[in-house]
Structure 1
Amino acid sequence: MVRRAYMMASLEQYFALLINFTVLVIVARILTPGEIGEAVTGLAIAVVAFSAREFVTSEFLIQRGTVDVETLRTALTLQVAVSVIIAAALVALSGLITRFYAAPDLSFFLSLAAVAGVIEALAQPVIALRRREMGFGVLACIRTAVSLTAALFTIMLAALGFGPIAFAWGMLSGSLMLAILAVTCSPLPAAAIFRPGLARWREVLSFGLFKGAALVVERLHETVPQLILGRIASMTSVALYNRSNTLCGIPDRIIMSAFYSMAFPALASRVRDGRDIEKTYLGVLAYLSVLYWPGVLLISLLAPSIVGIVLGPQWTEAVPVVRLLALAAVFWLPVIVTGPLLLALGRNRDAFLASLVSRCLAAGILCAASLHGVMAMALSQFVSLPLQMVVALAFVHRHVRFSLSGLAAALMPSAIVTGFSLVGPVALLAMPGHQEAELLVFAGAILLAGGGWLAGLLATRHPFLIELQVLLNAGRDRARRLRRFLVASGA
């Protein structure tokens, strides 16, 4: 069941990545870096503001033993009420924010984002309920439709000359689609859920206290350095850093986000069943590292080609930033597993403290670096990410008594596989004249990396081979069923 859940969550992420990648490529050629920087700033402010509603997060439904109608009503009532308060504050402060950044479009942008946030709140309890039931197939369909709607509106309005506001309208259209589909796909009748109720408010606040604080700290860590950069430097600098982060986050989106979307419910299920959590934790790290490390290091190696192909010639300044961010991302691996694991163990306070300590350290480093420009921020990641990794491992070790030798043994095969995957691309890029056929060399490097990766899996007998075997057997079974169906139809 967990394997199927991960596959469905991965499928959703692949579609979302493809859609967002298309938006990235097209909009980067329609809008200027300055316009994109202004949109990024507006989105960052909205994300920080609405992260506060995680103090009444609907995710408490996932951990709860049973869920009744009163519980769902409480979750919905609190989500909507807090979202309305946040939206009103955002609209009230939009004029001040606009003057602070000297960006006239920000006021309307934030007003649209406020409306989108309130509408999105209507869907959160249903989404949490589907995650609880491991209904990732339904969620994949919903989120793919939402991403596609937002992407189409963003691209269309950007092409029509709406500038950075196109992103806000895209966000609003996606929120509307999410609310409609969530209500339509709800396992319970809408009339039963969409009535005010506060019967379980103490339970919601008890669960959300630490999770909400942890998410607020995380969002501040992600956005505040960019907001400072936009004020001290320029909106173009914000766009360069943000788009470089986006490119480096492709392996994160493909691998880690799919994992995170089902990690909490899956790990919570294993804890309830009394499984060996140490074995599970080290196994997760082994699986993720063999996918994530080759991905980020390949991005660093192929940064000039990736920036040129995806963003276009006006973004060449992003190449060194992409290289540095991708190299530093190697240290990010253990961090993303920490939150879901601690929440599954019922250690909400430690999950919050782990996030608070690591994010505060990292945010301080990034904010200080942002005063010195984009390159300084990229270089600072070689300090902030290792610090976050150490903090994450320390907090997990308090409840999962793994040894350093066991951790090294779990990760060493992945490191070897990563080395195998990079040999071919490095040799190809070392050949003279490879710049003359950039697209061809890029495709060749990807193929060589894939071949080296498979060779590394076989050479180390990596445990991920089991997953490949499962996928291969599933493909063969489907092919057999298809052949039988075609034969029967022909008969």
Structure 2
Amino acid sequence: MASLEQYFALLINFTVLVIMARILTPGEIGEAVTGLAIAVVAFSAREFVTSEFLIQRGTVDVETLRTALTLQVAVSVVIAAALVALSDLITRFYAAPDLSFFLSLAAVAGVVEALAQPVIALLRREMGFGVLACIRTAVSLTAALATIILASLGFGPIAFAWGMLAGSLTLAVLSVTCSPFPAAAIFRPGLARWREVLSFGLFKGAALVVERLHETVPQLILGRIASMTSVALYNRSNTLCGIPDRIIMSAFYSMAFPALASRVREGHDIEKTYLGVLAYLSVLYWPGVVLISFLAPSIVGIVLGPQWTEAVPLVRVLALAAVFWLPVIVTGPLLLALGRNRDAFLASLVSRCLAAGILCTASLYGVMAMAWSQFVSLPLQMIIALAFVHRHVRFSLSSLVALIGPVALIALPGHEEGGLLVLLATVLLAGGGWLIGLLATRHPFLTELHVLLNAGRNRARRLRRFLVASGA
């Protein structure tokens, strides 16, 4: 269900990406990206009172939910007020007149979204991924429709902010409706468990703030020094390179922390679990990003259109650099599941600060320099992540090397002229090479393919019997 939710979200967001790339100019999209980045950084501070402490807690009662909701809303209101107060200053700094109203809408959306966070955490705790899938799909669809319709009516970059607000309202209404506790019981102020919330959120919040600063500050600097078009090119190139991330890793993001926490509580071999996760993710993620690099011209042309051709070299470089990102993904959820919040924070702080410094320095020399700098920042983050995990999960280096999945793609040169036929042909050939790599290395993922094959055969037999019975 977690996968299904993420695939629906990917399809919806991909549709928005394709349509908006043709409605708005790169400069307008760059302005929207800047506004979204500022809002994301601002509201990341509410993770200091994150509702995710509900996932790790032994039992959850009404007082606990009241505390989580009260703190989330209170902190969100403070952040929203600060964002509105600073919006005029930010508008003058970037010389972008639409940013002030954009940030005001984003501030309202952030406060509304806070109403849903305790319920979302509670559903994740109970592994209610089916309900979450329905809620988040409805939210994504509402935000997407609002954004596309308003952009087509000439609202410009502000359409993204209105879409965000529409999605937040939908999330709040559906979450309250699906809450296991009556709304009248939890929507009362309460601070009985505030010490517990702050204790859990101290490192979690600091880690997320560092992560958001690492993701957004280099782009914000680029928007000030270069142009909004450069911001759009870098952001959309990163989005295209993130397609394997969204397809393969998105379900992992949704269930990693609660699932790993459950494994730890039940006393499973966490080393075996960790190495198994890396093995499965590597065999899916690495071939995906390498293929994105090979097919950059085709992908950019089909998805973004002819006005985005400058993104092709960026996509090639960023996709290849993403190979080093894999071990970093698993680090945070694993350390949190082990109760090592401090180490999760330190791992994020050290790696993201160093990476942010590298990216910010590179942004002074343009968007292409930022892309190439990922070949320094991502390997550095990978080494730091493995070092922190090794303090608690004593895997051997030989075991880690043995996990390397087959990146058995055909070594095609990049096509200067791409198209749909080139894309489909290369994907089919790459899939064949990937399967050969699995067989040659006897990768454990073959077990999953056998399960899928057997399930397909069983369904085919049942369908055949049904057709025969219907004909009789």
Q: TM over 0.5, yes or no?
A: yes
How far apart are residue 477 of structure 1 and its match? 4.7
The 2-side partners of 1:426 and 1:453 are apart by 7
Percentage of identical aligned residues: 91
How far apart are residue 474 of structure 1 and its match? 3.7
Q: 1:390-439: per-residue Cα shift (whole Å, max 9, x none)?
A: 000000000000111xxxxxxxxxxxxx9999999999999999767722
How far apart are residue 457 of structure 1 and its match? 1.7
The 1-side partners of 2:293 and 2:171 are apart by 35
Determine if contact 1:421/1:449 at 8 Å carries over to the other structure.
no
Between 189-198 and 326-335, the greater mean CA deviation after superposition = 189-198
How far apart are residue 184 of structure 1 and its match? 1.2
Determine if contact 1:76/1:122 at 8 Å carries over to the other structure.
yes
The 1-side partners of 2:401 and 2:295 are apart by 16
Q: Secondary structure at the match of 1:423?
A: coil
Name the CA shift for 1:174/1:484 in 2 (closer, same or farther; >3 Å).
Answer: farther
Q: Secondary structure at the match of 1:66?
A: coil
Q: 1:134-153: per-residue Cα shift (whole Å, max 9, x none)?
A: 11111111111111111111
Determine if contact 2:406/2:437 at 8 Å carries over to the other structure.
no
Q: 1:352-388: per-residue Cα shift (whole Å, max 9, x none)?
A: 0000000000000000000110000001000000000
Name the CA shift for 1:143/1:428 in 2 (closer, same or farther; >3 Å).
Answer: closer
Determine if contact 1:51/1:219 at 8 Å carries over to the other structure.
yes
Name the CA shift for 1:374/1:191 in 2 (closer, same or farther; >3 Å).
Answer: same
Determine if contact 1:420/1:455 at 8 Å carries over to the other structure.
no
The 1-side partners of 2:417 and 2:358 are apart by 40
Name the CA shift for 1:38/1:437 in 2 (closer, same or farther; >3 Å).
Answer: closer
Name the CA shift for 1:210/1:430 in 2 (closer, same or farther; >3 Å).
Answer: closer
The 2-side partners of 1:147 and 1:356 are apart by 31
Name the CA shift for 1:174/1:457 in 2 (closer, same or farther; >3 Å).
Answer: same
Determine if contact 1:154/1:170 at 8 Å carries over to the other structure.
yes
Q: 1:425-455: per-residue Cα shift (whole Å, max 9, x none)?
A: 9999999997677221111111111222222
Name the CA shift for 1:466/1:425 in 2 (closer, same or farther; >3 Å).
Answer: closer
Determine if contact 1:62/1:131 at 8 Å carries over to the other structure.
yes
How far apart are residue 472 of structure 1 and its match? 3.2
Aligned to 1:186: 179
How far apart are residue 66 of structure 1 and its match? 0.7
Please, which runs of 5 or more residues in structure 2 have no aligned partner?
Answer: none
Determine if contact 1:293/1:330 at 8 Å carries over to the other structure.
yes
Q: Secondary structure at the match of 2:160?
A: helix
Name the CA shift for 1:213/1:437 in 2 (closer, same or farther; >3 Å).
Answer: closer
Aligned to 2:415: 434
Name the CA shift for 1:485/1:301 in 2 (closer, same or farther; >3 Å).
Answer: same
Determine if contact 2:6/2:247 at 8 Å carries over to the other structure.
yes
Name the CA shift for 1:81/1:488 in 2 (closer, same or farther; >3 Å).
Answer: farther
TM-score, structure 2 length as denominator? Answer: 0.95
Aligned to 1:166: 159
Q: 1:249-268: per-residue Cα shift (whole Å, max 9, x none)?
A: 11111112210210000000
Determine if contact 1:251/1:295 at 8 Å carries over to the other structure.
yes
The 1-side partners of 2:100 and 2:293 are apart by 37
Q: 1:9-37: per-residue Cα shift (whole Å, max 9, x none)?
A: 11111111111111111100110000000
Determine if contact 2:144/2:163 at 8 Å carries over to the other structure.
yes
Q: 1:93-127: per-residue Cα shift (whole Å, max 9, x none)?
A: 10110010000000000000001001111111111
The 2-side partners of 1:423 and 1:338 are apart by 17
Name the CA shift for 1:484/1:402 in 2 (closer, same or farther; >3 Å).
Answer: same
The 1-side partners of 2:388 and 2:187 are apart by 39
The 2-side partners of 1:235 and 1:337 are apart by 33
CA RMSD across the alignment: 3.0
The 1-side partners of 2:342 and 2:400 are apart by 38
Determine if contact 2:298/2:417 at 8 Å carries over to the other structure.
no
The 2-side partners of 1:296 and 1:139 are apart by 28
Determine if contact 2:314/2:368 at 8 Å carries over to the other structure.
yes
The 2-side partners of 1:471 and 1:426 are apart by 21
Name the CA shift for 1:114/1:466 in 2 (closer, same or farther; >3 Å).
Answer: same
Determine if contact 1:57/1:212 at 8 Å carries over to the other structure.
yes
Determine if contact 2:324/2:378 at 8 Å carries over to the other structure.
yes
Between 354-363 and 146-155, the greater mean CA deviation after superposition = 146-155
How far apart are residue 179 of structure 1 and its match? 0.8
The 2-side partners of 1:307 and 1:117 are apart by 32
How far apart are residue 222 of structure 1 and its match? 0.1
The 2-side partners of 1:353 and 1:433 are apart by 39
Aligned to 1:343: 336
The 2-side partners of 1:399 and 1:157 are apart by 50
Is residue 231 from structure 1 mapped to residue 224 from structure 2 by the alignment? yes
Name the CA shift for 1:431/1:238 in 2 (closer, same or farther; >3 Å).
Answer: closer
The 2-side partners of 1:336 and 1:439 are apart by 31
The 1-side partners of 2:84 and 2:277 are apart by 43
TM-score, structure 1 length as denominator? Answer: 0.91
Aligned to 2:102: 109
Name the CA shift for 1:436/1:249 in 2 (closer, same or farther; >3 Å).
Answer: closer
Name the CA shift for 1:374/1:268 in 2 (closer, same or farther; >3 Å).
Answer: same
Q: Secondary structure at the match of 1:428?
A: coil
The 2-side partners of 1:176 and 1:228 are apart by 31
Determine if contact 2:297/2:417 at 8 Å carries over to the other structure.
no
Q: Secondary structure at the match of 2:371?
A: helix
Determine if contact 1:420/1:456 at 8 Å carries over to the other structure.
no
Q: 2:289 aligns with which of 296, 301, 306?
A: 296
Q: Secondary structure at the match of 2:419?
A: helix
Determine if contact 2:295/2:418 at 8 Å carries over to the other structure.
no
Q: 1:212-254: per-residue Cα shift (whole Å, max 9, x none)?
A: 0000000000000000000000000000000000000111111
Determine if contact 2:410/2:433 at 8 Å carries over to the other structure.
no
Determine if contact 2:42/2:79 at 8 Å carries over to the other structure.
yes
The 1-side partners of 2:55 and 2:309 are apart by 45
Determine if contact 2:9/2:137 at 8 Å carries over to the other structure.
yes
Name the CA shift for 1:218/1:427 in 2 (closer, same or farther; >3 Å).
Answer: closer
Q: 1:133-185: per-residue Cα shift (whole Å, max 9, x none)?
A: 11111111111111111111111111111000000001001111111111111
Name the CA shift for 1:430/1:220 in 2 (closer, same or farther; >3 Å).
Answer: closer
The 2-side partners of 1:197 and 1:419 are apart by 47
The 2-side partners of 1:487 and 1:124 are apart by 51
Determine if contact 1:370/1:377 at 8 Å carries over to the other structure.
yes
Name the CA shift for 1:482/1:431 in 2 (closer, same or farther; >3 Å).
Answer: closer
Q: Secondary structure at the match of 2:405?
A: helix
Name the CA shift for 1:490/1:78 in 2 (closer, same or farther; >3 Å).
Answer: farther
Determine if contact 1:267/1:340 at 8 Å carries over to the other structure.
yes
Count of residue pairs brought into register by the alignment: 471
